[in-house]
Amino acid sequence: MNKSYERFQPPKRVLLGPGPSPVDDRVLSAMAAPVLGHLDPLFLQCMDDVQALLRYVFETENRVTVPISATGSAGMEAALVNIIEPGDEVVVCINGVFGERMRDIIERAGGTPIVVEAKWGEAIDPRKIESALKSSKPRALSLVHAETSTGVLQDLSGLGEMAHECGALLIVDAVTSLAGHPVGVDRNGIDICYSGTQKCIGAPPGLSPITFNERALDRIRSRKSKVQSWYLDITMVERYWGDDRTYHHTAPISMNYALREALRLIHEEGLEARWARHELNHRALVAGVEAMGMSMAVAPEQRLWSLNAVSVPEGVDDAKVRGRLLEENIEIGGGLGPLKGRIWRIGLMGSGSTRENVRLVLDALHRALNAEGFECPTGVEAAEAVYEN
């Protein structure tokens, strides 16, 4: 093999797509710290800190609150396969890619999905959820709080009580909302909630924070069969993260350093201040988009602050505009499924949710759209007015 390989040196992109989000230099620096053994007493202290900080961000007192050593999709799988046994009915809400993924996992685990659907770009009607719960014998109700594929935020109010009245657990995907929107695990009666490190938490992808309350753990312990996945069996994972420190797998040490630092920065900022920052930058972006003659793809009351779905103007080539932005080292996302070519997904997450980035992406969009023949004014002034007011 004669080919030689140079060191990989990627450019510094401004990541304003659906994830990963920009990573603060302090988090990147934490990853460069010396690697410890996964049972080293100092690393065990790091693990304790991570769990305490995750409880703060999830807004929970749950004892079992840990990062799964894999991406957010593994968090989804862990949440579902620990609960589902063959033949179990699970009410699953689908209004985008990740609801569909939930259904796929339910079926693979031998469960029967009871589907509640909404049009992509719209939230699920709680009345339909209640009807599905009452017309079945559900093991769980599973739904996406922040649908990354569409920019829709699902209201969680009352869903915990609704599920529990029917003997079901409430499982919530908070991958794109945790640390950017209030999730309120305990307040909303959520039994299992999972997320990812690469969105509003502001760390690189690679871990999936997840939390189980005692109701969920009791359900898992009463299973008639073993959990489908050995690696994701939370009854074993919790013993590694708990007081026993029983060896289960070799945790990704450097990623846990990164998560600890990212969570420390969240704690330093304060959750409410962080939510307010995400909301303010979202409102400024929306004002700028609308001032340019474009529209948002989601109704105001259902919009995510962290992931903004902008309708592509008629006659504009979605991919060409995104390509022009990438030439300026700015990444935004395109649509998926039925929304492919119809929306741009602009992420303002974690350390990427800033006034500077709102100005940057609006200015770049303005230039790209004009270059593609869609003449429009700049949206920067409208965004600035939001900040000034």
Residue-level pLDDT, tens digit, the chain, 389 residues: 689 999 999 999 999 999 999 999 999 999 999 999 999 999 999 999 999 999 999 999 999 999 999 999 999 999 999 999 999 999 999 999 999 999 999 999 999 999 999 999 999 999 999 999 999 999 999 999 999 999 999 999 999 999 999 999 999 999 999 999 999 999 999 999 999 999 999 999 999 999 999 999 999 999 999 999 999 999 999 999 999 999 999 999 999 999 999 999 999 999 999 999 999 999 999 999 999 999 999 999 999 999 999 999 999 999 999 999 999 999 999 999 999 999 999 999 999 999 999 999 999 999 999 999 999 999 999 999 999 98
Q: Enter the pTM of the model.
A: 0.97
Core vs surface per residue 89-103: b (16+ CB within 10 A) or e = bbbbbbbbbbbbbbb
Q: What are the pLDDT digits (tens) for 37-94? A: 999 999 999 999 999 999 999 999 999 999 999 999 999 999 999 999 999 999 999 9
Report pLDDT for 352: 98
- Report the domain count for the chain: 2
Could you tell me which of 313, 352, 335 has the C-alpha nearest to residue 147? 335
In this structure, are 67 and 199 located in the same domain? yes
Does residue 4 fall inside a structural domain? no
Cα distance between residue 21 and residue 379, in whole Å: 23
* Domain range for 223: 25-267
Residues in contact with 333: Cβ distance below 8 Å, sequence separation at least 6, in sequence order: 17, 18, 322, 344, 345, 346, 347
In this structure, are 51 and 92 located in the same domain? yes
Report pLDDT for 93: 98
Residue 21's Cβ-count burial label (10 Å; 0-12, 13-18, 19+) is: buried
Could you tell me which of 378, 369, 273 has the C-alpha nearest to residue 325? 369
Could you tell me which of 153, 195, 146, 145 has the C-alpha nearest to residue 170? 145
Cα distance between residue 350 and residue 278, in whole Å: 8
Residue with tokens 């869609």: 374
Give how far Cα 76 sits from Cα of 73, 103, 265, 282, Å: 5, 11, 25, 27
Domain boundary among 234, 267, 300: 267
In this structure, are 290 and 225 located in the same domain? no
Label the pairing between strands 169-173 and 138-144. Answer: parallel
Q: What are the pLDDT digits (tens) for 175-230? A: 999 999 999 999 999 999 999 999 999 999 999 999 999 999 999 999 999 999 99
Residue 175 · residue 72 · CB < 8 Å: yes
Domain boundary among 251, 267, 283: 267
Domain boundary among 267, 296, 322: 267
In this structure, are 126 and 222 located in the same domain? yes
CATH number (domain holding residue 258): 3.40.640.10
Report pLDDT for 162: 98
Residue with tokens 């593994």: 74
Report pLDDT for 1: 67
Left (φ > 0), alpha (ψ -120 to 50) or beta: where does 111 sit?
beta
Write the DSSP string, 317-334: -HHHHHHHHHHTTEE-EE
Does residue 278 fall inside a structural domain? yes
Cα distance between residue 305 and residue 169, in whole Å: 27
Could you tell me which of 19, 301, 55, 350 has the C-alpha nearest to residue 193? 55
CATH number (domain holding residue 338): 3.90.1150.10
Give the pair of three-digit tokens for residue 282: 């979202």
In this structure, are 52 and 71 located in the same domain? yes
Does residue 13 fall inside a structural domain? no
